[in-house]
Structure 1
Amino acid sequence: MSNCRRFPRVPTPRSRLLSRTIHCLLAAGMTSVSLPALAQSETDAEATPTELDAVEVTGSYSRSLEQAVDIKRYSIGFSDSIVATDVADFPEQNLAEALQRMPGVTIQRNKGLGSTVNVRGLPSDYTHVSINDLATASGSGGRDVEFDIFASEIIQQVTVVKSPTAADEEGGIAGSVKISTARPFDYSDRKLVATLEGAHNSISEENDPKFSFLAADTWGDWGALVSFSKARRTNRTDATSGINFRPMSRFLGASDGRGEQAEAVLERDAGLVIGDRTDTDETNLIVFQDKVGDRVFLNEQDKWGATTSLQYRPGNHFSLTFDAMVGGYDTTEDEYDAAAYSASSRSTLDTIHEYDADTLSRYGMVVLRDVSYTATQHEFLSKERINETDFAQYSLAMDWNGGAWDLDALIGYSGAEKTLDYSNLKHVAYAPSRTRWTGRSGETVPSADPDTIDMYDAADRYLFEAYETTLEKTSDDKYAAQVNAARSFDLAFLPALRSAQFGGRYTDKSKERSYGERKIGGPSADDNSWVDSRTLADSPLQWIGDIVPGGDYGMKDLRWQQVDNGYARGFFRYPGFSTPFDDSQFYRVDEETTSLYAMADFAFDVGSVPVAVNAGARYVDTSVQSFGYHPVQNPDGSTGYTDTPVSQAGGNTDVLPSLNLSAELSGGLLLRAAASETLIRPALTDLAYKRTASWSSYRFTDGNPDLQPTYAKQWEVGLEKYLDNGGLLAASYFRKRIDGVVISSLTGVVEDVAVYNANGTLAGHYDFDVYQPVNASGSYDVDGIELIAQLPLGGLHSALEGFGINANYTMLESSLAGESDLGISTPMPGLAEKTYNVTAYYENERFDTRVSYNHTDEYVESIGYNLYPIWRDAYGQLDLSIGYRLTDSVKLSLKGINLTDRATTGYTMDPSFPTMYELSGRRISLGIRFDL
């Protein structure tokens, strides 16, 4: 939905904010503006806003910053924007990385690639995302959008709205990311832009191509635009990971003699006397390493995206626009894993070489740092993940202005389909070995036991366990229709009322998921002859440095041999093999939402201070229907499912008020304030009937159709100083009180569940905990301060002409978001207390350069076993962009990502217990851009 009319162009948008300008905006029913080229004189301010306008891509970074400042200045609420020049010219690999330089925006990285976006430190699924005013599907089934599927080249403008109005579809507890693609009338003349680029990764040593173009033209009342982007990315990540805590209940709870031995070793080597080895409240306070893995990932991506826009605009009072956005994101990730699973079901403690009763003593915890085990499960895993995502979005928008009335309407569809084909070739060797923490990870070495092995050089000891396959297909679809009407007023008896706006929206969203798995144990169906008879040495092996490009493993001085995934897929998948879908794993969730809103805009003077106010409320009615197969317990203790699908209805109704205010205290000094109540709905995957099993952890995880939305009451106040040279200084304080946070909670126990070994033999019967997502009771607060400084430096001295700084800083503080089952207080997972971005730039007519550093403070990534907080370390990345314009229409660019080759690291509870260390390398690209 577009709530704004746009203004005729004038030579510069850096005009003084006058009272009449605010009044003119409100009279047009405007609550946010794409880019008002506002009047520089009182006469211009009184002009009737009839001509549509938009962000113009100039190729200048400083100009794009000025445009973003104008968008912020003339919005009624708190927001920040970037425009096409900033999106395309900065070094980035996808849209997520383009957004990370915005105030309060951080990104989640996965093996060196930005994937999802966090606003103001809150989790990514607290952010509402729309493209061309249509909420976007990504195939994840959650509310978060996987930004890595979108190419940044097809994006024209992104605005992050942090204080919603009643007209917004959904405010999002963190905020709303509003993405716009280009339209033909955004350009005053015919436009043709093409870019060619090649990038080099320092670890994989591969060269990746990227190509994009945009073409737009208008013919009288008609206009058309097409854009296309295609890129290939090959990235290698070397990592040590999987080094999480495991509670000693894993061994002490065993009833086959292993529990007694573990108890004896704890007393002998560490002086720890166990009162009751079946009491998990006691045994969960003694921890050891779960697993140490040396891993190499090779991620190959093919991404393409295209947009089309057709516009009919017979005059300044009517426009009809069809927008289409389609694309595909295909990845193949090979993972080669040499791992030692200390918590093997056959193993127990042999010798404790070192323990730590001091580091976590405040929690009463003892950590076994260096231990020899009786039967470690050594694994060679060749994993292959093939992920194919196709997305499409179509919308038809109408805008009409009839004097005092404005009317806009939209119908649209957004959908994504994702297929995930996963396989894992698993060979296992059980043998004594020794596992311990090292400086930045962990390691497994031979123990003193005579039957120990060098896990990296014993291929004949590794027995084939299974070639595991899974297949998952999901579809995520959303249909929407909306209409909005605005009426401007000039009432003698109520001069402050400038406009009223009202409207409604209907959305129909659904997610459907099919899933199946099958294990191969031999050369044909129902043949398990390879299990425990075929060894790793029976397959052709290659050194890890030869399987993947880039040479030897870079994390440690290690070399090992494994089976290439290409060979595994061709050999182990016998003719006619397929992975069938399991009916019991199917689920579907349908969600319908009807919303109505009304709001009004007021403008008046308090003394000599012009004030603008937007106030309104939205009524939202949501209904949910969840279909699936309800889990039941079979007489033998195993898990079964109902023979026919069952369904459950849910829903909620809400009234969400909002208030936004701005006042110009003096020339260029703006006071803003905002208050609202907003919500974010649960992920559709959490609402679904489904059960997943973790056999090694003795845990079931169910969906919960009774989940309610998470709510937030929030307010913000800030000062913004707009400088005559296009600069900005801003500071704001915000506070959010969040209720109904969705957490995973123990909701039941299934007793005597049969657990089977890979060869089909019964491992035993165990009690399984059942965890479900639930709305946590109580509330918690998030407080934050946000600072922005955008300073062109030319005004300080003529020698600094062309230089500038663009920086922002966000600091957060939250009350207790929850506790682990051990009573350990933790901040909200995903919430980083401090983030900042600093960009220094210089540009002239021919040359430009930008150096950017972005930093995210450490945060809790997850809570292992609901017991031990796992932290992601603070991360900072240095990026560089250099451009030289050969002619007015041809530009060369050199870009560097992660120039300092920063590693991604994490730890459990204390940095002396590292959980991961990942290197994804630096990326250097060279490109040429044609702008005709």
Structure 2
Amino acid sequence: MIKKIKCSTMFSAIAAATAMAFSSSVIAANNVNGQIVDAKKGIALSGALIQIPELNVKISTGKDGRFRFDNLPAGTYNIQVSYLGAAPQVEQISISNDRSITQDFAMLPNQSSVDEVLVIGQRASQANALNRQKNSNRITSIVSADAIGQYPDQNAAEALQRLPGMFIQRDQGEGRFVGIRGIDPSLNNLTINGLNVPSPEAGIRSVAMDVIPSELISSLEVSKTVTPDMDADAIGGSIEVKSITAFERSDKAFSIAGQLGYNEQQEENSPKLSASYSRIFPLNNDNKLGVAGAVSWAERKFGSENIETDGGWGDIELENINTGADEEFFGAAEIEQRAYKITRERTGVAVNIDLQTTSADYYIRSLYSKFSDDEYRLRNEYKFEDGDLQAFTSNSLSTVDAEMDRDTKDRYEEQTIFSTVFGAEHQLRKWTLEYSVGYSKSEEAEPDRLDVDFKGEGFDLGYTSTGPFVEFTQSNDAHNLSNFELDEFVFENNFTEDEETSFKLDLSRQLNFENASADFKFGGKIRQREKFNNASVQIFDDGFDDVTAAQFEAANPQWDLGNFGPSISRAGIRSFFKQNRNQLELNTLDSNLESQGASFESAEDITALYAMTDVSFDKWQIIAGLRYESTDFETLGNRVELVEDEVNDIEDVLISEWAVKNDYDHLLPNLSLRYDHSDKLLFRFAYTNTIARPAFGDSAAFQIIESKTEEDDGEIVVERQAEVGNPSLETYESMNLDFSIEYYPGQIGVMSAGLFYKDIDNFVEFAEVQDNGMWDGFDEVIQAINGGSAELSGLELAYTTTFDVGLLLVANATFTDSDVNLPNQADTVANFAIGYESNTISTRLTFAHRSESYQFLDQGRTVYEDSHNQIDFNLKYFINDQVNVYFNAVNLNDEPLYLYHEDERLNYQYETYGRTFELGFSWNAF
């Protein structure tokens, strides 16, 4: 068992920070503070820009609409407030020594109509996001909660795909993982309320964002460049999920929503419910307590129809059964028909508490999400020997004598994410002290998984493939389930846990000079993470007494891609296994090999220190700093060897522990420049250095070895092959350059263009390493190793505008190019949306495009994902200011998923999902 490093340093730091805060909790003198709200609803406006021109200082409001200037020289000044979509405001203030001034602002829209508000509808959501983007000190893209409601998106991942440079990886047609600017999702960072989120899945770091219901989210912020006070593990960028808080809403707010969805292909209904509540309680001495909570539940029933190719494609010669002649064929060793039935359920709860006092703010942020995936899969496997490959020959369907398997996968998977963070910000006389303590845990349980295989042979089978769609032919006996004998049960109980504890401390000071200002900031962060995977696999391969699939026959499944044949009963298989388990023969050797080889635990301790300065003068803003990160990594797993010695009649599994430690550190300089040519036109440049640590599955300590000894013509032959982890993997390292131009024409809109370049070292790839001097006597050893470098460059364009007649246009496109094949990197990603909004109707039609992308190598051939084009539609009708009903149409063009082997005519995977229609209502009381 890996021992956790003692947390005495962390607790000492917490105690020191707390003592410093309370011993120095004198309110800062010569400061101006306030809040920016919407004049009609009283809701906080985040991203508003506040300036004091005489001192050349500026700041933007946070989620709660608050701002603060410290250490200002005595004098009389003008405070200017600007917010896209609102009329600017100016107020004069006088500052004297040792005095604090509170100056609030209530913003009115640019239009003269008093019925207009700044916080509702498409325009409001665009205004919120663009104001925060414009006034950020980084290159960012933002989705606000209101904007999420304008799209028919199932989860947080799908909401992010609408932003410039963003793309998603889908599972069963639903967005899961999010990539940034052509960089694979595994190389990005995800935080919830500033807290790093561990992954519930076994071997990876990336978090599937479909576990986070969009109803719990206040905003999604993507930082495409990072500053020194941010975590460095963000080669593509960093995604921050912020849950709702009371101080970003009115004094008392409540919402409830309900929805019913219908999947056209599977003819299934799916319900969805959500609610939120927040309230601000005034306390004595101008102190305030804010409480906010949200809950969401959804059940989605759907499925997919699938054709896949396994074993690669090749040129072969075989006898055509129909003609008797030898012919040249180009075929695949295995073609699969798959039918899925899936029920996904999401439950989410967020509870946030904020306490605002005259000298400090305290907060507790908590989010819990549970995601379950109940899947039953039927599969027909057409298996062709090397001499029997047949396909892609002509328009006629010819057949060969081949084997066929029918198998099922019965799996229930449950993922949970829990994160909670306590933090505070103390205003001292000259310094601001911020600290937070966080804990997060992710789990994935896969209890009682049951995979069953039935084998058959002697069938006349064939197929023709001229592209995504594969046409099958088979003799009638291939659909007679009595011809398929039960061959194997695989019963699994798997569990993964990923846990992280962190402490963060920041100190900053604001200084003002003549025509210039500077913020100095330094601090550190400690992260302690433990991940383990416990696999329990039992393989039963005998004791079936000639049981056939006919015993479990059920009606034909929903499958429109050809003739699938009868189904196999899920309940019947479960019942048979439960009743006969004690009579089945357990393959102990293979079971131990699979279980012990996949189990591991790893621990990672990260210590980070940074220092930075933020200087503003004239029209310039310069952020410069340095970040240091030290990583202590250790992993514990098993060396598992299956020994099959036919000469000495020995068959055994040898298991021994394998533990490895690996320590490394990084020094990461950082520079960001911003030049405001005018209030409307600004330029940005950033030079950053980021990293990405290897996936836990690649760096885990495991060795799975198979040794076979036999006699061949009087000579003893030993064949050995292995699959091993690599705990010595180095981190990905990236040097990044970014340059962008942003133009805000005055109304709610933006035109922007950005160039980016990344030079990435230490890419991880799988290779045969038996010849590296460490594996003498092995015929093949597969291991993850650090490969070469890659250069990625790109152009990002975005355009958003609104018209007085109610029209809204959103268009963005990102073009990337790399000198090597990068996983999931598409040359073009684009989005287009056109919307219309009036006092009673809001509608939006969207189009998302992603060009073909490299995926991986299979049997020496490159596998690509074909381009993806999806059209969605949203329509809202406002019954009054509080209640609306809506209609969503998802995947209107019924876009499938298609992967192919090098040539678009060579199927790897073709999967369809159908259209989904949703009808719902929302009631919001502010």
TM-score by length of 1: 0.82
Matched, 1:802 2:806: yes
Which of residues 544, 555, 559 is equivalent to 1:553?
A: 559
Q: Contact 1:441–1:915 at 8 Å: present in 2 too?
A: no
Moved more, 190-199 or 856-865: 856-865
Taking the aligned partners of 1:612 and 1:850, their CA distance within structure 2 comes to 37
Taking the aligned partners of 1:185 and 1:298, their CA distance within structure 2 comes to 43
Q: Which residue of 1 aligns with 2:285?
A: none
* SS at structure 2 position matched to 1:686: helix
Which of residues 431, 435, 441 is equivalent to 1:415?
A: 441
Q: Which residue of 2 aligns with 1:604?
A: 617
CA-to-aligned-CA distance 1:831-863 (integer Å, 9 cap, x gap): 011011111111122210011111111111221
Q: Contact 1:305–1:327 at 8 Å: present in 2 too?
A: yes
Q: CA deviation at 1:565?
A: 1.4
Moved more, 48-57 or 784-793: 48-57
Q: Which residue of 1 aligns with 2:462?
A: 435
Q: Which residue of 1 aligns with 2:110?
A: none
Q: 1:239 to 1:489 in 2, by over 3 A?
A: same
Q: For residues 319-334 of structure 1, what are the structure 2 equivalents within 5 Å?
A: 319-334=361-376
Q: Contact 1:598–1:617 at 8 Å: present in 2 too?
A: yes
Taking the aligned partners of 1:21 and 1:152, their CA distance within structure 2 comes to 43
Q: Contact 1:742–1:775 at 8 Å: present in 2 too?
A: yes
Q: Which residue of 2 aligns with 1:770?
A: 781
Q: Which residue of 1 aligns with 2:664?
A: 652
Taking the aligned partners of 1:325 and 1:829, their CA distance within structure 2 comes to 31
Q: Which residue identity does 2:365 align to in structure 1?
A: D
Which of residues 308, 323, 331 is equivalent to 2:351?
A: 308
Q: CA deviation at 1:353?
A: 7.6
Matched, 1:196 2:210: no
Q: For residues 261-660 of structure 1, what are the structure 2 equivalents within 5 Å?
A: 269=326, 288-315=331-358, 317-342=359-384, 347-350=385-388, 373-374=400-401, 376-421=402-447, 422-431=449-458, 433-439=460-466, 440-446=468-474, 453-454=475-476, 456-491=478-513, 496=516, 498-521=518-541, 528-530=542-544, 533-537=546-550, 539-545=551-557, 552-556=558-562, 558-574=563-579, 582-583=595-596, 585-605=598-618, 610-632=619-641, 634=643, 636=645, 643-660=655-672
Q: For residues 135-150 of structure 1, what are the structure 2 equivalents within 5 Å?
A: 135-140=196-201, 141-150=203-212
* SS at structure 1 position matched to 2:123: helix
Q: CA deviation at 1:174?
A: 0.4
Matched, 1:666 2:666: no
TM-score by length of 2: 0.83
How many residue pairs end up in the alignment? 823
Q: Which residue of 2 aligns with 1:892?
A: 885
Matched, 1:172 2:185: no
Taking the aligned partners of 1:732 and 1:411, their CA distance within structure 2 comes to 36
Q: 1:928 to 1:351 in 2, by over 3 A?
A: closer
CA-to-aligned-CA distance 1:355-377 (integer Å, 9 cap, x gap): 69xxxxxxxxxxx9988555x33
Q: Which residue identity does 1:623 align to in structure 2?
A: D
CA-to-aligned-CA distance 1:677-721 (integer Å, 9 cap, x gap): 100111112111124689999974321110111011011111100
Taking the aligned partners of 1:91 and 1:67, their CA distance within structure 2 comes to 20
Taking the aligned partners of 1:899 and 1:351, their CA distance within structure 2 comes to 38
Q: Which residue identity does 1:209 align to in structure 2?
A: P
Unaligned runs of 5+ in 1: 253-260, 263-267, 272-285, 357-367, 447-452, 522-527, 546-551, 754-765, 795-800, 817-826
Taking the aligned partners of 1:474 and 1:639, their CA distance within structure 2 comes to 31
Taking the aligned partners of 1:392 and 1:129, their CA distance within structure 2 comes to 14
Taking the aligned partners of 1:812 and 1:6, their CA distance within structure 2 comes to 44
Q: Which residue identity does 1:503 align to in structure 2?
A: G
Q: Which residue of 2 aligns with 1:927?
A: 920
Moved more, 294-303 or 421-430: 421-430
Q: 1:77 to 1:768 in 2, by over 3 A?
A: same
Q: Which residue identity does 1:776 align to in structure 2?
A: G
Q: 1:839 to 1:148 in 2, by over 3 A?
A: same
Q: CA deviation at 1:463?
A: 1.4
Q: Contact 2:50–2:58 at 8 Å: present in 1 too?
A: no
Q: 1:584 to 1:715 in 2, by over 3 A?
A: closer
Q: CA deviation at 1:6?
A: 8.8
Q: Which residue identity does 2:377 align to in structure 1?
A: E
Identity %: 20
Q: Which residue identity does 2:480 align to in structure 1?
A: A
Moved more, 117-126 or 583-592: 583-592
Taking the aligned partners of 2:200 and 2:631, their CA distance within structure 1 comes to 21
* SS at structure 1 position matched to 2:552: coil
Moved more, 558-567 or 77-86: 558-567
Which of residues 836, 853, 867 is equivalent to 1:842?
A: 836
Which of residues 870, 873, 881 is equivalent to 1:877?
A: 870
Q: Which residue of 2 aligns with 1:915?
A: 908
Taking the aligned partners of 2:706 and 2:326, their CA distance within structure 1 comes to 32
* SS at structure 2 position matched to 1:242: strand
Q: 1:143 to 1:839 in 2, by over 3 A?
A: same
* SS at structure 2 position matched to 1:566: helix
Q: For residues 7-22 of structure 1, what are the structure 2 equivalents within 5 Å?
A: 8-9=35-36, 20=53
Q: 1:705 to 1:212 in 2, by over 3 A?
A: same
* SS at structure 2 position matched to 1:71: helix
Q: 1:684 to 1:563 in 2, by over 3 A?
A: same
Q: Which residue of 2 aligns with 1:863?
A: 857
Taking the aligned partners of 1:354 and 1:31, their CA distance within structure 2 comes to 60
Q: Contact 2:331–2:391 at 8 Å: present in 1 too?
A: no
Matched, 1:788 2:798: yes
* SS at structure 2 position matched to 1:377: strand
* SS at structure 2 position matched to 1:630: strand
Q: Contact 2:397–2:462 at 8 Å: present in 1 too?
A: yes
CA-to-aligned-CA distance 1:68-125 (integer Å, 9 cap, x gap): 0011110112001011111233201111111110111111111111111111121110
Q: CA deviation at 1:43?
A: 4.8
Q: Which residue of 1 aligns with 2:70?
A: none
Taking the aligned partners of 1:304 and 1:270, their CA distance within structure 2 comes to 57
Q: For residues 62-73 of structure 1, what are the structure 2 equivalents within 5 Å?
A: 62-73=123-134
Taking the aligned partners of 1:402 and 1:908, their CA distance within structure 2 comes to 63
Q: Which residue identity does 1:854 align to in structure 2?
A: A
* SS at structure 2 position matched to 1:651: strand
Q: Which residue identity does 1:294 align to in structure 2?
A: Q
Q: Which residue identity does 2:600 align to in structure 1?
A: Y
Q: Contact 1:196–1:929 at 8 Å: present in 2 too?
A: yes
CA-to-aligned-CA distance 1:852-907 (integer Å, 9 cap, x gap): 11111111122103x11111110111111111111221111111110111111121
Q: 1:390 to 1:455 in 2, by over 3 A?
A: farther
Q: CA deviation at 1:382?
A: 1.6
Q: Contact 2:333–2:389 at 8 Å: present in 1 too?
A: no
CA-to-aligned-CA distance 1:274-303 (integer Å, 9 cap, x gap): xxxxxxxxxxxx973032111111110111
Matched, 1:209 2:271: yes
Taking the aligned partners of 1:41 and 1:657, their CA distance within structure 2 comes to 39
Q: Contact 1:858–1:872 at 8 Å: present in 2 too?
A: yes
Q: Which residue identity does 2:906 align to in structure 1?
A: F
CA RMSD of aligned residues (A): 3.5
Taking the aligned partners of 2:580 and 2:55, their CA distance within structure 1 comes to 71
Taking the aligned partners of 1:667 and 1:172, their CA distance within structure 2 comes to 31
Taking the aligned partners of 1:685 and 1:847, their CA distance within structure 2 comes to 50
Q: Which residue of 1 aligns with 2:290?
A: 223
Q: Contact 2:365–2:422 at 8 Å: present in 1 too?
A: yes
* SS at structure 2 position matched to 1:96: helix
CA-to-aligned-CA distance 1:409-456 (integer Å, 9 cap, x gap): 11011111111243222111122544343233334434xxxxxx4464
CA-to-aligned-CA distance 1:122-165 (integer Å, 9 cap, x gap): 11101100000001123124221111111110000111001100
